[in-house]
Amino acid sequence: MTTDRWASWLLRRRDGGSAELRERFAAELIAIRDGVLDRAAIARGDVVLDVGTGTGLIGLGALDLVGRAGRVVFSDVSAELLEECRRLADPERSAFVVAAADDLAGIADVSMDVVTTRSVLIYVTRKREAFAELFRVLRPGGRLSIFEPINGFTVRAGAGDLFGLDLTGVADLAAKVRARYAASAPDGDPMLDFDERDLLRWAREAGFTRVSLDYRAEIDVPGPPVMDWAALKRTAPNPLVPTYAEAIEAALTPAERERLDAHVESLAGTPTRHTMATAYLSAVRP
């Protein structure tokens, strides 16, 4: 039984228990993992810190690269997720530290060859302080490699359709569900308070050099169809908000929920369309 929102989302609410969704997300996550690890240039014998490790996607991949003489430190705010990583990792080459990205307590100064993160800063309010911590723990010549979604781009692009579906026929209902999500967002939503230019600026202000950013934006790009509406409703778009079913339950009357269900189910097999932006940033501590 999961006890914190981070573990609950990663282990259950992200895919709603659907094997189909889990498989779809796995392919996307593997591509992100490889993008982060490629930019980290991990060598045999390196000591790697994976900040906000979650279920260990990046950290476990790093274990395959550091060799027998290397080591990976898994850090996260969730002790429960660290236990999940401990179950999967080689104990002789791994360490586990409960710490936040903006306060890496327990990680010594200039002790790491590589620091990685994936979709972590998007949840951190003190992003500038997080970059300072990432810099602090790296040795001279150490490499930073991070991946972040740029959710503010989606908002600025005016992409508001839920689930990537055409909800024109139930626009009134979609508006109510969106309003419910807007009301559940934290004050000063950290998911929307930055863009790729901020990442570059914070890296430079922290002292990093050889800063490189690979940015990709997509507007109205076709995606896989929604085949299992019941499973999709059990998922949540991120750890900070309700599942789609919870938001729909709170926002709509029973009759409205039936109308929304009927409309979405009528679109089964129709390709979804997505607008999104992402950024990979790599840098070196001089």
CATH number for the domain formed by residue range(s) 5-284: 3.40.50.150
Q: What is the mean pLDDT of residues 44-68?
A: 98
Sign of CA dihedral 18, 28, 119, 190: negative
Q: Output the CA–CA distances (angstroms, integers) from residue 248 to 21, 27, 104, in the order listed.
A: 20, 28, 38
Q: Which of 139-143, 173-177, 198-202, 277-281 has the lowest mean pLDDT?
A: 173-177
Contacts of residue 260, defined as CB under 8 A and 6 or more positions apart, other chains included, come to 170, 173, 174, 177, 248, 252
HSE of 96, CA atoms in CB hemisphere, 13 A: 20
Q: What is the mean pLDDT of residues 232-247?
A: 92
Please state, rounded to an integer, the average pLDDT across all residues of the chain.
93
| Band of pLDDT at residue 277, cut at 50, 70 and 90 | very high
HEC-encoded secondary structure of the chain: CCCCHHHHHHHHHCCCCCHHHHHHHHHHHHHHHHHHHHHHCCCCCCEEEEECCCCCHHHHHHHHHHCCCCEEEEEECCHHHHHHHHHHCCHHHEEEEECECCECCCCCCCCEEEEEEECCHHHCCCHHHHHHHHHHHEEEEEEEEEEEECHHHHHHCCCCCHHHCCCHHHHHHHHHHHHHHHHHCCCCCCCCCCCHHHHHHHHHHHCCEEEEEEEEEEEEEEECCCCCHHHHHCCCCCCCCCCHHHHHHHHCCHHHHHHHHHHHHHCCCCCEEEEEEEEEEEEECC
Q: What is the mean pLDDT of residues 53-74?
A: 97
Residue 2 in this model has a pLDDT that exceeds 60: no
Residue 223 in this model has a pLDDT that exceeds 70: yes
Given a contact cutoff of 8 angstroms between Cβ atoms, the answer to whether 281 and 146 are in contact is: yes
Q: Which of 104, 69, 118, 78 is nearest to 280 (CA)?
A: 118
pTM tops 0.75, yes or no: yes
| Band of pLDDT at residue 1, cut at 50, 70 and 90 | low
Length of the chain: 286
| Band of pLDDT at residue 159, cut at 50, 70 and 90 | low
Q: What is the pLDDT of residue 48?
A: 98
Residue 164 in this model has a pLDDT that exceeds 90: no
Domain ranges of the chain: 5-284
Per-residue b/e over 15-31, b at no fewer than 16 CB within 10 Å?
A: bbebeebeeeeeeebee
| % of residues, the chain, pLDDT over 90 | 77
Which of the listed ranges 58-72, 163-177, 255-269 does the model predict with the highest average pLDDT?
A: 58-72
Q: What is the mean pLDDT of residues 25-35?
A: 95
Residue 241 in tokens: 């908000």
Task: Please report, as a single letter, which amino acid is at residue 238.
Answer: N
Given a contact cutoff of 8 angstroms between Cβ atoms, the answer to whether 117 and 95 are in contact is: no
Q: Which of 40-54, 112-126, 184-198 has the lowest mean pLDDT?
A: 184-198
Model confidence pLDDT, tens digit, residues 165-210: 888 899 999 999 989 988 887 777 899 999 999 999 999 999 999 9
| Band of pLDDT at residue 115, cut at 50, 70 and 90 | very high
Residue 235 in this model has a pLDDT that exceeds 70: yes
Residue 160 in this model has a pLDDT that exceeds 70: no
